[in-house]
Amino acid sequence: MKKADHYTYRVSWSPEDGEYVGTCAEFPSLSWLAKTSSAALAGIGRVVADVVADLRASGEPVPVPLSEKKYSGEFRVRIPPQLHRTLALEAAEQGVSLNRLASAKLAA
């Protein structure tokens, strides 16, 4: 059973609205505006909990919290052939694998 407090929440200032906005990464269409950051966080938490309850009641799938997902450490990226060649040469010159070079560049 997925718990609403296991989801990934963020609160940020919205200059357009003049308030804090609470969002949830697993439910990108949901948000909550409030005068304080703590109220925005509490508000989006309640909205997500309500949506999760509605999804369960209707038998619809409930998103898995990012914190509970398992990651393989692999993903595929398509790049132009010339960039692939350039990166392969750079990796060879550094004496590392292309995967290690790409990982270091992504982490930078």
Q: What is the pLDDT of residues 27-76, one digit of tens each?
A: 999 999 999 999 999 999 999 999 999 999 999 999 999 999 999 999 99
If asked whether residues 20 and 58 sit together in one domain, one would say yes
Q: What percent of the chain has pLDDT over 90?
A: 94
- Cα dist. 100→59, 74, 90, 93, 106 in Å? 43, 12, 11, 13, 10
If asked whether residues 38 and 79 sit together in one domain, one would say no
Q: Is 26 exposed, middle or buried (0-12, 13-18, 19+ CB in 10 A)?
A: buried
| Number of domains comprising the chain | 2
Range(s) of the domain holding residue 17? 4-67
Backbone angles phi, psi at 21, to 5 degrees: -120, 130
pTM of the model: 0.74
